[in-house]
Amino acid sequence: MMQNMMLLADAISDTEALGGRVEALLTGTVMSIMVIVSVIVTWQKTKSLLASGAALLGAVALWYAVMNATTFRDSVGETIKPGGAPPVTEGRGPAVVRVVEPAPGPAMGRDGEAL
């Protein structure tokens, strides 16, 4: 029984290591190939240096977002409270709202109602 548990723990550890390698392959190699392909395809279709540069900037921005997805996820989780809790004010006090009644004039109805 104990040996079966050890084998299961080793299998889980190996699977986790394999998942880490696949993730590194996808975020490193595949993303860099996608950046290169997007710039080449944009250049071939438009023959424009400006459009190719924009494709490069867009692809690099996407790559950055993929590489830092956990950071973005955690920062959103800290800023937006689930369940309808009030938003984080970061030390600022509540906002002051002033209600102003409309002045009577030609656009007012019989009982002072705005039309």
Q: What is the pLDDT of residues 21-79, one digit of tens each?
A: 988 888 788 888 988 999 999 999 999 999 999 999 999 998 888 888 777 777 665 55
Question: What stretches of 26-101 show up as alpha helix (H) in DSSP?
Answer: 31-46, 49-67, 69-79
* Inter-axis angle of helices 69-79 and 49-67, nearest 10: 70
Question: What separation, in Å, do the N-terminal and C-terminal C-alpha atoms of the chain show?
Answer: 82
Q: How many helices (H) and strands (E) does the chain have?
A: 4, 0
**Which pLDDT tens digit goes with each residue over 15-29?**
999 988 988 888 788
CA nearest neighbour of 26 among 69, 72, 55: 69
CB 108 within 8 Å of CB 102:
yes
What are the structural domain ranges in the chain? 2-79
CA nearest neighbour of 32 among 70, 63, 61: 63
Q: Cα(32)–Cα(24) distance, rounded to whole angstroms?
A: 12
pTM confidence score = 0.47
